[in-house]
Amino acid sequence: MSDQAERAARETGRQARRVADSRWFEATARAGYVGSGIVHLLIGYLVVLLGLGDASSGSETDQSGALQQLAAVPGGIVLLWVVAVGTAALTLRLLLEAVVGGRSDSARGWAARGKDVGKAVAYGAVSYSAASFALGAGRSSSGSSRSAAAQALATPGGVFLLLAVAAVAIGIGVGLVVIGCRRSFRKHIVRPPHHLDRPVTVLAVVGYVGKGFAVAVVGVLVAVAALRNDPEQATGLDAAFDAVHRLPGGTVLLVAMGVGFLAYGVWSFFRARFARL
């Protein structure tokens, strides 16, 4: 790379860092955690209803179901745009952090970049879905999952691709449980005041463990779909919650998972306030 190109790259990095550190950008990124909290609260609410046997909601118990519920309430479109814009800003913030975050080239530094990119993909998906529902073009995430699985299984090596996706989902789920149990989320927030420290910690632990278990179940279902060559099995959280519900004692477990998502939602609100950005 020429000296001129290197100088241009450094200047671009400085400009990107300046944008990421601006107060307005930080405030918008924090709104992304608020948007994520709203979505998780709605998912938790729908899951608890399913666990208690209330099928009257008629919604999928996943992200698309939560956004559909949000679109139906008065002022819901405005809230959807808040979710979409906030999570989009948080996505951009994470991508900038991965590219110009000043990390070393060690294995740990690259792992941190990879985690930021993974989080950016997740928040970007929420942003895209929220904007789609705000525009009236939202789609069922379960249907999209089945369609993608069917296309994968129809291609050579598709089974191995789905198994890889399943392994990643299970790994993410286990990772979330570990984060909750080890309380390593503390590294990413400013220590709350003493009177809030314990409640925030409990919310985060319950939230990470409940969400992690649900994501791991999704991975198991994708693996089953690959091994049985049945794309109908490869759905998202909605099918995972249904599968848990059918287990012996599934009602109790499902309500506990719903409480986990509710806890994660409230934790996200506190994270918006105390996150290190």
Break the chain into its structural domains and give their ranges: 3-274
**Tokens coding 267:** 């934790």
The model's pTM is: 0.79
CA distance 257 to 51: 9
* pLDDT higher than 70, residue 46: yes
Dist. CA 263–CA 185, nearest whole Å: 14
Beta bridge partners of 275: 189
Which phi and psi angles does 39 have, rounded to 5°?
-60, -45
pLDDT at 57: 47
Long-range pairs for 183-192: beta carbons < 8 A, 24 or more residues apart: 188/271, 188/275, 188/276, 189/270, 189/271, 189/274, 189/275, 189/276, 190/274, 190/275, 190/276, 191/274, 192/270, 192/274
Q: How far apart are CA 96 and CA 13, in angstroms?
A: 9
For 218-255, the pLDDT digits (tens) are: 888 888 877 777 666 556 677 778 778 888 888 888 88
Q: What proportion of the chain, given as a percentage, has pLDDT over 70?
A: 78
Q: Rounded to whole angstroms, how far apart are CA atoms 164 and 160?
A: 6
Q: What is the mean pLDDT of residues 86-112?
A: 76
Residue 113 has pLDDT above 90, yes or no: no
Tokens of 7: 């100088």
**pLDDT attached to residue 87:** 87
Among the ranges 96-105, 154-163, 165-174, 257-266, which has the highest mean pLDDT value? 257-266
78-87, 117-126, 142-151, 200-209, range with the lowest pLDDT = 142-151
Split at pLDDT 50, 70, 90, the class of 208 is very high
Sorting pLDDT into bands at 50, 70 and 90, what band is 269? very high
Crossing angle, helix 158-182 and helix 141-153, to 10 degrees?
130
- For residue 32, name the pLDDT band (cuts at 50, 70, 90): confident
Distance between CA atoms of residues 218 and 33, nearest Å: 23
Least confident of 35-44, 184-193, 236-245: 236-245
Question: What was the pLDDT predicted at 199?
Answer: 94
Q: Is 250 buried (19+), middle (13-18) or exposed (0-12) by CB count in 10 A?
A: middle
